[in-house]
Structure 1
Amino acid sequence: MNVLFLCTGNSCRSILAEATFNALAPEGWRAISAGSQPAGYVHPKSLALLEREGIATDGLASKSWDGLPVTPDLVITVCASAAGETCPVYLSPAPRAHWGVADPARATGTEAEIEAAFETAYRTLRHRIEALLALPRDLAEKDLAKFKAECERIGTLVPESTRTA
């Protein structure tokens, strides 16, 4: 299973998702990330957060969706379209799901508030990735419609630690 995490800039959220998925996924499952308009760099706060979590950052790079090394079996967009951000449309026959996450690179405020935005994005993505990996491994082959519906449902999950009262 090859999962493509897609965003516009491919510098924060999709990178966090790629690295986290690859750290947690079983053998044979792999994530890549890309952007429709790659920023050309990985945000230093994303790299620092992943390193604090013990997740490898070697080889992470902001890259274009042109010329992907593998064909994705699942495409997950992570842009926050509810915040007026345009999600890129990746044309492929692979099932798609939307997991909107606010862009921590756009966070403003104190250093602590900006760090908190990165932490929230990471915790949200990790929670959703864990839910995806908990699905039956053969669900996509047995029932593609149910798999797609589950992927969409997962995109609405919010970890307890990030809920606001």
Structure 2
Amino acid sequence: MFVRAAGHPVRWRLMSELAGGDLRVRELVGRVGERQNLVSYHLRLLRDGGLVTSRRSTFDARDSYYHLDLDRCATALGEAGSALHAALRTVPSLPVRPAQRTVRPRVLFICTGNSARSPVAEAVLRSICGERVEVVSAGSHPRDRIHPTVVRVLREEYGLDVAAQRPRHLEAFAGQRFDVVVTLCDRAREVCPEFGGAARQVHWSLPDPAGGDDATFVASARAIATRVRHLVPTLDITTQEVTS
């Protein structure tokens, strides 16, 4: 299934672009250099194959953001390789030698209130990478506090404590350098400032769990954790030999 879905050159280019973050049709048209009707046709085939999903933009309901399901791709790709030969399986990466120190990339997560989505992303990335990454989060219109259900879900589901954390405004990081800036809601993407030409801009079109029940918050946290897990291998976590 994966080989058939991804085998067409236009679909492969669309998947390659979506691997970096969620995009709208007009953005994909510009990136792959094809007509909109052709891009829409191939997106529909990728959706039919279960590799791509879409959701309406919360900033402009006339737009839809497309998302590549990397877990689904990995599973399908692994199955295709194993079907061809047992040797074609993922090989675990080697651990970093302890006699090295890490050059830390800086990552900023942004949503509107900095009370639900972006604090989850910040906490999960910090738990995965520890001191190898410097990570913060902020909001375009920050709330007074982290949502209490977020605090509870992170503690119960992931063993992470953000009870003492307070939402921060984007202005607190004005002029700072970041390697990766991730927006987690469509409205925040529209008002996100520039953080220097070196910053890689990534967008995750995720619904706000506020107003939902506990299950909604759990599902939101899991979706964000999956995205964070996919982000980690793309970070420039290089190492330098310890000389002293």
Q: CA deviation at 1:132?
A: 1.3
Q: CA deviation at 1:68?
A: 2.3
More contact order relative to length (CA 8 Å, sep ≥ 6): 1
Kept in 2, the 8 Å contact 1:35–1:64? The answer is yes
Residue 103 of structure 1, aligned match among 208, 211, 225: 208
Equivalent pairs, count: 129
Task: Describe the SS at the equivalent of 1:63.
Answer: coil
How far does the alpha carbon of each residue in 1:86-106 deviate from its partner, in whole angstroms, 9 at most, with x for none? 533222221101011110013
Aligned to 1:55: 160
Q: CA deviation at 1:26?
A: 4.6
Moved over 6 A (4+): none
Kept in 1, the 8 Å contact 2:108–2:180? The answer is yes
Q: Aligned pair 1:76/2:182, yes or no?
A: yes
In structure 2, C-alpha distance between the alignment counterparts of 1:136 and 1:71, rounded to whole Å: 15
Tell me which protein shows more strand as a share of its residues.
Answer: 2
Task: Describe the SS at the equivalent of 1:91.
Answer: coil
Scaled by the length of structure 1, the TM-score of the pair is 0.70
How far does the alpha carbon of each residue in 1:37-96 deviate from its partner, in whole angstroms, 9 at most, with x for none? 1112110000001111201325421110112295321100001x3xxx453322222110
Supply the AA of the counterpart residue of 2:193. Y
In structure 2, C-alpha distance between the alignment counterparts of 1:122 and 1:35, rounded to whole Å: 17
How far does the alpha carbon of each residue in 1:109-156 deviate from its partner, in whole angstroms, 9 at most, with x for none? xxxxx11111111111111111111336459xxxxxxxxxxxxxxxxx
1:131-150 to 2 correspondences below 5 Å:
131-135=230-234, 137=236
In structure 2, C-alpha distance between the alignment counterparts of 1:25 and 1:95, rounded to whole Å: 19
1:31-70 to 2 correspondences below 5 Å:
31-52=135-156, 53-57=158-162, 59-68=164-173
Kept in 2, the 8 Å contact 1:23–1:56? The answer is no
Stretch of structure 1 that moved more, 63-72 or 34-43: 63-72
Scaled by the length of structure 2, the TM-score of the pair is 0.49
Distance 1:19 1:26, change over 3 A: closer
Q: Which runs of 5+ in 2 are unaligned?
A: 1-104, 239-244
Based on CA coordinates, which of the two structures has the bigger radius of gyration? 2
Q: Aligned pair 1:126/2:126, yes or no?
A: no
Percent identity between the two aligned chains = 29
Kept in 2, the 8 Å contact 1:14–1:33? The answer is yes
In structure 2, C-alpha distance between the alignment counterparts of 1:106 and 1:86, rounded to whole Å: 19
